[in-house]
Amino acid sequence: MRIALAFIIFIAINGQSLAKTIRVGKDSPFKTIKSAIESAQNWDTVLVYNGTYIEGNIEIKKSITLIGKDLPILDGSKKYEVLSVKANHVVVKGFKIQHSGYASLDDPGGIKVYNGNHVVIENNLLYDNFFGIYLQYCKNCIIKNNRVIAFGKEEQQIGNGIHCWKSDSLQIIGNKLTGNRDGIYFEFVTNSVIWRNIADKNIRYGLHFMFSNNDAYFTNCFRNNGAGVAVMFTKNITMMNNTFEENWGDSAYGLLLKEISDCYLGGNKFVNNTSAIFMDGTNRIRVEKNIISANGWGMKIQANCMDNVIEHNNFVGNTFDVSTNGSLTLNSFSENYWDKYEGYDLNKDNVGDVPYHPLSLYSVIVENTPSAMLLFRSFMITLLDKSEKVLPSLTPANFVDTRPLVQSIKL
């Protein structure tokens, strides 16, 4: 034990004495970051003082810690990738990185990490880059508290805020992403967690999964994006405690699930979306304890979805609670609260005695004939809906919540 302690202390003291701090700035020995990095050894710290550094592409091939003091600016003059990290154990902290180049072939980013393990990117402001932070073949990296602002107008013209490709065990925490194509993009990324991020006003999606299994995202906020989150061709995603709001517009969704299976969606809040949840080819998903309120459509479940369980959710104030495009129903609804439920509860066990059919006639009509949306809010439609509720004939009879709750669930 004592020997071990002594060894640790020895290492600590030695480590500290070995690693030096190299200062970069106007009044410092090094004027450029490039020269500082060149003279640095592994485990050194490069401390960059306030100023604007226009040095083209800065490459980091050593395991160093790069720290900006008072937010120094690294500028790519719209030509270069600003910071390329090509080593393990690199830390990049406290920079304003701006104006990266634009190229559709090699996707230059504000910060791009190539094959890095244990890289930490923290407290940076990425301003007007093509891609914000780009990770490829990375492992165990942490992207924390960065702010990524871009000014994309069209999908093709702009990259993603945080783009991760073929990576594993990433932690994306507390970032703010605005105006990118996708706020956060995952492709072939596994075992990673996305926590406490805010994605707003991104052109396409707030968060986008492609072929990325076994990931989780918690407590994020997706506001006013083309669509809040898109999870596609993926398995085993846990989605909890997120807020999806104001994803409003033609073909805008709060959460878009396409060809995914075995996921969990719980404790989320969907407010003011055109369609809160859109499910297409979605299997074995558990949707529970969500608040789905004031949306155009609460859930759009396509007929190719199977074995999904929708339980204990609150559906409040949606124009359409649920809609589907076929008569096949292979999903189960149970013990949800529907504010449009008009049944009674004689034995006061908080479960309504009459089953509830959440599918309204009009939602079926609109699904089949989109132009019928023109009659939205027309008196005729209200009448039709009422009579269909009493005697279901056009809507599938097994699309039903047999145990609807009478009072909303406290969530």
Partner 1 sequence: MRRILKYVIIDIVKNKIVVFYTILIALFAWSAFGLEDNASKGLLTLLNIILFVVPLFSVLFSTIYIYNSSEFVELLLSQPIKRNKIWNSLFAGLSVSLSVSFLIGAGIPLLIYAEPRKALMMIVVGIFITLIFISLAFFSSILSRDKARGIGYSILMWLYFALLFDGLVLFLMFQLSDYPIEKMMVMISALSPIDLSRILMLLELDVSAMLGYTGAIFKQFFGTSLGLVLTFFLLLLWIVVPYVISLRKFRIKDL
Could you tell me which stretch among 42-50, 145-153, 351-359, 370-378 binds partner 1 (CB under 8 A)? 370-378
Q: How many residues bind partner 1 (CB under 8 A)?
A: 26
Question: Residues 99, 134: contact at Cβ < 8 Å?
Answer: no
Distance in angstroms (rounded) separating the CA atoms of residues 261 and 122: 33
Could you tell me which stretch among 108-116, 230-238, 340-348, 362-370 binds partner 1 (CB under 8 A)? 362-370
Is 319 among the residues that bind partner 1 (CB under 8 A)? yes
The least CB distance from residue 383 to partner 1, in Å, is 8
Is 394 among the residues that bind partner 1 (CB under 8 A)? no
58 contact partners, CB below 8 Å, separation of at least 6: 33, 34, 37, 74, 82, 83, 84
**Single residue of 27, 371, 391, 410 touching partner 1 by CB under 8 A:** 371
Is 27 among the residues that bind partner 1 (CB under 8 A)? no
Which CB atom, from 151 or from 376, has the smaller least distance to partner 1?
376
Question: Residues 363, 403: contact at Cβ < 8 Å?
Answer: no
**Single residue of 3, 5, 342, 379 touching partner 1 by CB under 8 A:** 379
Taking the CB of residue 149, how many other CB atoms lie within 10 A of it? 18
The least CB distance from residue 291 to partner 1, in Å, is 15
Question: Residues 357, 329: contact at Cβ < 8 Å?
Answer: no
Taking the CB of residue 362, how many other CB atoms lie within 10 A of it? 23
Strand partners, 235: 261
Distance in angstroms (rounded) separating the CA atoms of residues 143 and 56: 23
Which CB atom, from 249 or from 343, has the smaller least distance to partner 1?
249
Is 408 among the residues that bind partner 1 (CB under 8 A)? no
List the x/- string, 278-317, binding to partner 1 by CB under 8 A.
----------------x-x--------------------x
Measured between its terminal Cα atoms, the distance across the chain in Å is 50
The two tokens of residue 409 are: 């669930």
Distance in angstroms (rounded) separating the CA atoms of residues 138 and 283: 30
Is 380 among the residues that bind partner 1 (CB under 8 A)? yes
Using CB under 8 A as the criterion, which residues of the chain lie in contact with partner 1 when the complex forms? 248-252, 274, 294, 296, 317, 319, 365, 368-381, 383
